[in-house]
Structure formats: C-alpha cells, structure tokens
A and B are shown apart, each in its own frame.
Chain A
C-alpha cells in the first residue's frame, strides 16, 4: 500500500502535502518558542552574573559536549539521507539509515547520562539541591539550574525523536513508504533536525563560551 490517500478537502496531493509541511513548520515554530523562554532566561542571568557563568561553563566537559555535537550532526546527516533514499524509492535503505539515527540518538543520551552522573557526584543539582563546593556563588547555581532545564528539555525531545524515527524506520523496512509516499519520513526528519538545531546553540552556550 504505497499511494497516499487524498483527503476530500484537498484538490490534489501537492496541496495536501504543502498543508502538512506548513503545519509541521508551525509546530516547529512553537517548539522554538518553548525553548525561547529558557534561552531568554539564560541571556538575562548571564548578563547579571558574567563571571560566575564563565566559571561554571569552564567546569563542563568540553570533550563530552563536542562529541555529542558531532554525534547529533551525523544523525542529522543519516536522517537527511533516509529522506533522499525513500524519495529515490529505496525504503529498505531509508529504514536502515533511520535505525542508525536512532542508535546515534542513544549514544547522545548515554553520553549525557555519563555527564549527569559526574555532576551528581560533585553535588551539582538543580535549584535548592545545589551543593557544589568549588563554585558556591549564586550565579553558578543559577547556571546549573538552567543547564538542567535546557538539557533536560532537549533530552526529552531527543527521546521523542528517537521514538518517532524508530516508528518510521519500522515503516520503511515493512515497505509502508516509497517514492511518492515519503511525506511522513520527511516530516519526522524535520522534527529530528530541529532537535539538532537546538543543540547547535546549547553547545556553545553551555560548554564553550567562557571568556
């Protein structure tokens, strides 16, 4: 079953596809605004506590953060290639590429877990639980609380994205998608790329910038 069904309110498949794409972009825009509140808090508190934020950024593991950046960029590549594959009527190849993307997502979450564990051992906990003796200032506590909120919300999105890509991968391997019926794979891919874009900004803000 490879032909997409045309809903009665649309004149043709092209218009139906564009409506679905526009709807997906609207959803991604609202996701951006969800993260936007936390980004605004980060900017405001960084302006209030520049020195404490710089010290706290320097404490985070650049090795883990940078590795995770490369892992997510590569997973975006495999997702983009899977869209290319299903458009070229190679759904099995697309399914394998999507499965690889889910695996890369799992690597990202595992590295994030290693990092969280190290922070917990140091007593770096969000809000009232903050017990890190090395950086006792209020600004550092605020930084790490925002760090947990930003990376936690992002990790939730990674998990949701992995579920979505896993479902699409299964569909591709079962032959549910093919050239001409590739919209679901494309839209699921858009979600994953947004997760990648959020991390592209989180990486310099949480790991790099400490002038």
Chain B
C-alpha cells in the first residue's frame, strides 16, 4: 500500500467521523427537544432535524456532493412526491366536511305543480 493511499484513507475517515458526530449530536438534540414542552411545534421540529440528518447522509455518506447533479435530481424528485402524497392526503382528511348530498327539495304540495 502506498503512502498516498494511507493519507487518503485518513482524510476520508476524518470526514466520515465528523459527519457521524454531527448525526449523533442532532439525534441528541431531537431527543432533548422531545422532552421539552414544545406542544404543536414538536413534530415539525423533529421532522426538520430528521431532514437535516438526511441531508448529511445523502451528501457525505452517499457521496452526492461529489456526484453529478442528475443523481441528486432523481432522489429529490422522489422525496418531493412523498412529501406531496403525505401533505395532500392529510389536507383532505383535515379539511373534510360533511354536506347534504343534494339540496333539500322544497316543501311544495303536489297540487301546486
């Protein structure tokens, strides 16, 4: 094994460990926030942290940062469709109202027709 290869291993290992430390830190932050009285903000905060962790994994562990943009477009499109699917399905459930199926017929006697 060459000296250059050793240096390369150390450089990439250092970066991977730094990303891992950031992921563990964000996990800890998410855990602590879940114990804080955030109320309705709790779920959005947890999902935002999960999105930040995902960005780190995609960019560095999955090497998107050094790959062509095409590859990122594919996975971001899929992610966008999942967000659309979940949010529009939820929007339907949340805004659903029960109306009468048809206008109530006017109370007229058969004779006046």
Distance in angstroms from B6 CB to nearest chain A CB is: 7
The verdict on A81 contacting B53 (CB below 8 Å), with A22-B70, A47-B93 known, is: no
A74-102 interface bits toward B, Cβ cutoff 8 Å, 1 = contact, 0 = none: 10110111011101111001000000000
Chain A 117-146 interface residues, beta-carbon cutoff 8 Å to B: none
Cβ-based interface call for A40 (8 A): yes
Cβ-based interface call for B38 (8 A): yes
The verdict on A30 contacting B12 (CB below 8 Å), with A43-B87, A76-B57, A193-B62 known, is: no
Cβ-based interface call for B111 (8 A): no
Distance in angstroms from A159 CB to nearest chain B CB is: 20
- Please tell me if the beta carbons of A44 and B92 are within 8 angstroms of each other in the complex: yes
Measured between beta carbons, the chain A residues less than 8 angstroms from B31 are 62, 66, 208
Roughly how many angstroms separate A66 CA and B111 CA in the complex, as a whole number?
Answer: 75
Cβ-based interface call for A156 (8 A): no
Task: Tally inter-chain residue pairs, CB-CB below 8 A.
Answer: 153
Cβ-based interface call for A25 (8 A): yes
Roughly how many angstroms separate A203 CA and B47 CA in the complex, as a whole number?
Answer: 10
Number of interface residues of A (CB under 8 A): 56
Distance in angstroms from B1 CB to nearest chain A CB is: 6
- Please tell me if the beta carbons of A32 and B79 are within 8 angstroms of each other in the complex: yes
- Please tell me if the beta carbons of B93 and A211 are within 8 angstroms of each other in the complex: no
Q: Which of A106-114, A147-155, A162-170, A194-202 contacts B (4 or more CB under 8 A)?
A: A194-202
Measured between beta carbons, the chain B residues less than 8 angstroms from A29 are 74-75, 77-78
The verdict on A36 contacting B89 (CB below 8 Å), with A73-B20, A88-B6 known, is: no
- Please tell me if the beta carbons of A204 and B20 are within 8 angstroms of each other in the complex: no
Measured between beta carbons, the chain A residues less than 8 angstroms from B79 are 32
Measured between beta carbons, the chain B residues less than 8 angstroms from A73 are 20, 23-24, 27
Measured between beta carbons, the chain A residues less than 8 angstroms from B67 are 21
Measured between beta carbons, the chain B residues less than 8 angstroms from A36 are 78, 81-82, 85-86
- Please tell me if the beta carbons of A204 and B47 are within 8 angstroms of each other in the complex: yes
Chain A 181-202 interface residues, beta-carbon cutoff 8 Å to B: 186, 189-190, 193, 196-197, 200-201
Measured between beta carbons, the chain A residues less than 8 angstroms from B54 are 197, 200-201
Distance in angstroms from A53 CB to nearest chain B CB is: 10
The verdict on A47 contacting B90 (CB below 8 Å), with A29-B74, A77-B17, A84-B12 known, is: yes
A-B CB contact pairs (8 Å), 9 listed: A36-B78, A62-B31, A69-B27, A77-B61, A88-B5, A88-B9, A204-B30, A209-B42, A210-B42
Inter-chain pairs besides A29-B75, A76-B57, 14 sampled, C-beta below 8 Å:
A30-B78, A39-B82, A43-B89, A44-B89, A44-B90, A73-B20, A73-B23, A73-B24, A80-B60, A89-B1, A89-B5, A196-B57, A201-B47, A208-B34
